[in-house]
């Protein structure tokens, strides 16, 4: 089983990447399965030159291939002006809409205030559903103040991460159910 994180932040380092890594780390601890992180900040120069999916730079194609090869995707975004960053959306827009169908997903976000947590249900879950991803029922939102040096530092959020990792473990054990549902 392969886990891939997708950090939608344009900053490096970023709290969003720190949260994605914390979730992957906890899933790895609970299941023994691990993986890496695709960082939109590293792909930003290539994204700016990508106007369509017909010809993609090698770095974007490699990132898409990682997502296609994943069993579970941890999608993390920072919240800017009540939405996820345009570069993240552009990256997702360049993926074949059917390429991720039937995969499992964990949704996480970072932002400055509790009000930003609405993005998880209002926008990110809708995007995951459009892509055919099975997302865990619970999500994780962390405020900027929940981090120290870009690492998760709030024990309450760490508990939420552990809970969501448990849901991820369940999703990873149910690939046959996802495959049957995707075929229906």
CATH number at residue 178: 3.40.50.360
What pLDDT sits at residue 114? Answer: 86
Domain ranges, residue 38:
3-183
pLDDT value of residue 115:
86
Could you tell me if 97 and 21 are in contact, meaning their C-beta atoms sit under 8 angstroms apart?
no
d(CA 7, CA 26): 16
pLDDT at position 175, please? 62
Q: Domain total for the chain?
A: 1
* Alpha carbon distance 57, 51 (integer Å): 11
Q: Give DSSP secondary structure letters for 150-181.
A: TEE--HHHHHHHHHHHHHHHHHHH-HHHHHHH
Measured in residues, the chain has a length of 184
Whether 110 and 142 have beta carbons less than 8 Å apart is answered as yes
Task: Encode the chain (184 residues) as per-residue pLDDT tens digits.
Answer: 899 999 999 999 999 999 999 999 999 999 999 999 999 999 999 988 777 767 889 999 999 999 999 999 999 999 988 899 999 999 999 999 899 999 999 999 999 988 888 899 999 999 999 999 999 999 999 999 999 999 999 999 999 999 999 999 999 887 654 554 555 4
Q: Give the residue from 126, 136, 132, 125 showing the smallest Cα distance to 173.
A: 136
pLDDT score, position 178: 52
In this structure, the number of other CB atoms found within 10 A of the CB of residue 65 comes to 11
């Amino acid at each position: 089983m392969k886990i891939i994180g997708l950090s939608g932040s344009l900053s490096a380092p970023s709290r969003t990447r720190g949260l994605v890594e914390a979730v992957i780390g906890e899933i790895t601890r609970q299941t023994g399965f691990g993986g890496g992180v695709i960082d939109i900040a590293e792909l930003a120069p290539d994204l700016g030159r990508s106007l369509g999916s017909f010809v993609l730079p090698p770095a974007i194609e490699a990132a898409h291939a990682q997502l296609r090869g994943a069993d579970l995707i941890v999608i993390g975004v920072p919240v800017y002006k009540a939405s996820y960053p345009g570069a993240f959306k552009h990256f997702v827009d360049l993926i074949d809409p059917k390429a991720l169908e039937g995969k499992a997903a964990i949704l996480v976000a970072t932002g400055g205030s509790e009000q930003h947590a609405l993005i998880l249900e209002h926008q990110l879950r809708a995007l995951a559903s459009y892509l055919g991803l099975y997302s865990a029922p619970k999500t994780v939102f962390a405020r900027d103040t929940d981090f120290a040096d870009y690492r998760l530092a709030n024990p309450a959020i760490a508990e939420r991460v552990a809970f969501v990792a448990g849901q991820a473990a369940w999703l990873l054990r149910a690939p046959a159910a996802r495959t049957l549902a995707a075929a229906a």
